[in-house]
Amino acid sequence: MKVDSKIIGLFFVLISFIGGFYFHQYLFEDYYERAYSDENIDFSLLKKTLDHIYISYINQDKIDLEKMTYGAISGMVKALDDPYTEFFDPEGTEDLQETITGSFEGIGLQIAIKDNKLTAISPIKGTPAEKAELKPKDIILAINGESTINLSIDEAVKKIRGEKGTNVILTIERDGHSFDIEITRAIINVPTVEWELIETETGKKIAHLGLYHFSNSTYQDFKKISSEILNSKAEGIILDLRSNPGGLVNQAIDVAGWFLNKEQTVMIEKNKDNIESEIKSSGPSNFSHYPLVILIDEGTASAAEILAGAIKDNKNTLIIGQKSFGKGTVQKVISLSNKLSLKLTIAEWLTPNRNKIDGEGILPNIEIEFDNDNDSQLEKALEEINKII
C-alpha cells in the first residue's frame, strides 16, 4: 500500500511548526543543535513508525492522523514528568479558557498531581465540591470507578467536568481511609473577592477581605471592593487567602501592589539557566499603612502563595492558619494554533527572601487547624490584629 505523501507531509509540518514556534518564542539559540544532535533520538523514527502504520496496520479505516498527532505531542509532554506541563487538544483548550475566564460546568474543584497522585488543591467557594466537603490534599483514587493512575490533570478535568445536573462519583482517600462521594455538577461561576466589616469585642473595626481565585477579572473586582474598604471605618485588614488555589500570577502581582510600597520585590523568578528576575511592586500601596494579618491553609496555592510570601517577607506580616499547598513553578500558556495549547513550565518562583515555594509552601507564624463549629482561624486573626491596631 502506498503511503499518502500529503498526509506524511502534514504530520511533519505540524512537528516542524511546534519546533519552530518553540525556537522563536524562547530564543533558544542552541535549540536545533541540542534537539537534533547525534546524542538525541533520531526524529526519523516518527516517520518510520507512521510509514509502518499506513503500510501494514490491519484496521486502516481507524487511522486518524489528527488524533495520532495529538497523541505524539501529548506523549512528548508527558515524558517530561512534570505534572504542570500539559498539552491541550481543542476540547482541553476550550476548558482551559473557561477556567481562566471564571465560568464553566463542573463541580468546582482545583486539582494537581502531587507525589504522582491526583490530589485536590481546594474546592472553590460556594460550589458543589465545597458542599460535598471535599478537602485540600484529598487523594482522588478514581473517577466514576476508573482509576486515576497515570491520568494527567487535563484528562482528569475532562472526566470530572460535565453538564449541569449530571453526577460524578469520586473515590477519595483521606487519612488512610477511602470512600465514594457522588456530586451533582452545576454551572460554576468562580467568585474572586468578597469583604465584610467585623467589629471586635473591643470595638475595633476590621475589614475581612477574602480572595478566592485569580482569574481575568480578579484585579478589577479587587479595586472596586478596595474603594469600599478605603471609604469605610476599617482600622485593619485580615487578608483571607484560605482555599485560594491561585490562577493568573499577573493578577496576584497587581493585588500585591496595594499592600506593598512601590519597587518592593513581589517575587523572584528563576528560569532554566538559573537566571533570576525580580518582579517589583508598581503600587498604588493604598493598603500599605493598614495593620494586617493573613490567613492561609492547605488549599492556598500558586499565585496565592506568591501574594502571601511577598507581604510576609516585605512587611514581616503575621500569617495564621496551616502550611500552604506548595506549588511554586511558572507555567506559560502557548497557543500552538487556534485550537491547540501547550501549558509549559518555564521558571520557578521564590519569595523576596529567596524562600522556595514549590514543594515547601508558606509556613504560618501561628499554626492552627480549622474548626468546623466556629472559624477558629479567623477568631485567632481577629485576636491578633486587635493587638496591633
Catalytic residues: 302, 327, 331
User: CA 328, CA 308: separation in Å to the nearest integer?
Assistant: 12
Half-sphere exposure (Cβ direction) of 150: Cα atoms closer than 13 Å: 3
8 Å CB contact between 236 and 290: yes
Please tell me the total number of residues recorded for the chain in this structure. Answer: 389
With b meaning 16 or more CB within 10 Å and e meaning fewer, what string describes 5-40?
eeebeebeebbeebeeebeeeeeeeeeeeeeeeeee
Euclidean distance between CA atoms 46 and 50, whole angstroms: 6
Which amino acid is it at 261?
N
Q: Which residues pair with 183 in a beta bridge?
A: 168
Distance CA 376, CA 382 (A): 10
Backbone angles phi, psi at 334, to 5 degrees: -110, 130
Q: How far apart are CA 185 and CA 108, in angstroms?
A: 9
